Amino acid sequence: MPSDIVTTDTGQIRGEVRDSSLVFEGVPYARAARWEPPVRAASWEGVRDARAPGSPCPQVGSSYSEERSTNEDCLFANVTTPSTTGRKPVLVWIHGDGAVGAGHFFHAERLARQGDVVVVTFNYRMGVLGGFGLPGLPHSGEFGLLDQRAALEWVRRNITAFGGDPGNVTLFGVSFGATAVSAHLMGPRPLFHKAIMHSSFTLVDVPRGAWFPGLEALPSLAWRPVAEIEGLGAWVMAELGCPDVECLRALPAEKLLDHPQIMNIFQATGYGGTLLPRSPADLLEAGEFAPVPILAGATRDEHNSFVGLFRPEPMTADDYAALVRDAFPDRATEILAEYPQSSNASPKQAWAALLTDRMWARSTFRQNTFYARTAPVYAFEFADRSAATDPSFPPELHGANHSSDIDFLFPDKSFSKDRGLSDYMIQAWTDFARDGSPGWPRFSEGQYVQSLAPGAIGPVDYAAEHRLPFWE
């Protein structure tokens, strides 16, 4: 094993061997004052200890994450490599959610070792610190995206020292992270050469009541016009009694994080600013994106997660019918005929199946169709219906739920799911990172989608499975 000391452009760092890989954690890739663009990290003398993670970016936790942080000195990267020699493909991971999370939560030792690749994960500003805006504030709504670009710039400058090839970088992410990947495809000159997206929100709209009980219909969970974000920022300024942005910058992070409304209303990314000139949906449809090779897909039972999390109360058949009528007043009768509660194990399962098809499968298929007009696209569906078994969910909502595929790429020592499927995915994903193909036909060849399930890897009629002709 080569030396565990690596020289970066800001100083030397010492990592450690884990599971036959070298791991470097808590490496500063940039620094940023509140609501300012990131700049290069400060240099240091001597050898910096990189054997423990840096602080997560500020977050208040949630029903599915207990992590809390108020530390704004949080722009850290983590690198896992089989060897610091050679020129290996590089995978750069953007974690999901956009309000909670950190790069070091993802264990990349097996992905790096088995796939013979270098894996980079990192933290970025989220919520009110990543997506805030005010009239006259440069880069309103895009501080998190700027952090992600800074991480990619750090990779370009430094990854050779870790055995990586700066000329072969794949950007990949899940959920909010996958949506960020799409933003970088449509933004300024991309700092990567291939892209992978798991369960992207890029084209997901939200019918009334589909996310939280009582939530009005939304055109997007992922994007907001900068002008709208700036209006929310002006409301925050008045709510917190500040006359200007300097007053807001001087407040303790807790004042922003602990307000019941402020943290998550800035989860969406702004468009109409410096990075995204127009709505990403418009840019995608117009073909205004980098035509790099793309691997993209979703899970078989995406919306099970959100019904399980946000609708814990009992649901009757009458409740289900009322939800459908409320969400789809013009088509309720035909939707209830297409998705009868009686054909599912419970009303909750019927609601989840309907929304998986309408929100997730429909938008994923449209996204891949638009990308495939000018880029090589490889489509997948993660379909291991034993993958997600949250004990707080009723059994019928277990399945191939949102983000349940990610453990198969980042398995830690406690991983107890199908090892064969994990091996297959790691091989396919790292083959794609190496030469641009995961080993199955392109989506444009008969709209080919590769299903990923234990003992059942192969093509699936995705449109028929998710009743897309009905929704179109």
| Nearest residue to 272 via CA among 189, 187, 200 | 187
Q: Which element (helix H / strand E) includes 296?
A: strand 294-299
Give alpha helix (H) positions in 245-316: 245-250, 253-257, 280-285, 304-310
Is-contact 452 382, C-beta < 8 A? yes
Looking at residue 305, its amino acid is S
In which residue are the tokens 């490496």 written?
27
Whether residue 83 lies in the annotated active site: no
446-470 CB burial, b ≥16 within 10 A, e <16: ebbbbbbbbeebeebebbeebbbee
In which residue are the tokens 């003398």 written?
45
Distances from the Cα of 364 to the Cαs of 95, 167, 261, in angstroms?
Answer: 19, 29, 30
- Tokens representing 9? 């452009």
In which residue are the tokens 């805030």 written?
132
In which residue are the tokens 């990290």 written?
41
Which positions ≥6 away from 360 have C-beta within 8 Å? Answer: 199, 204, 298, 299, 302, 303
Neighbours of 225 (CB within 10 A): 17
Q: What distance in Å separates the CA atoms of residue 7 and residue 16, rounded to the nearest whole number?
A: 15
Looking at residue 408, its amino acid is F
- Tokens representing 84? 């610091």
β-pair partners for 76? 28
The rounded Cα 445 to chain-centroid distance in angstroms is 27
Q: What distance in Å separates the CA atoms of residue 36 and residue 350, rounded to the nearest whole number?
A: 45
- Choosing from 21, 69, 175, 404, the catalytic residue is 175
In which residue are the tokens 């000159």 written?
189
Which residues belong to the active site?
A: 175
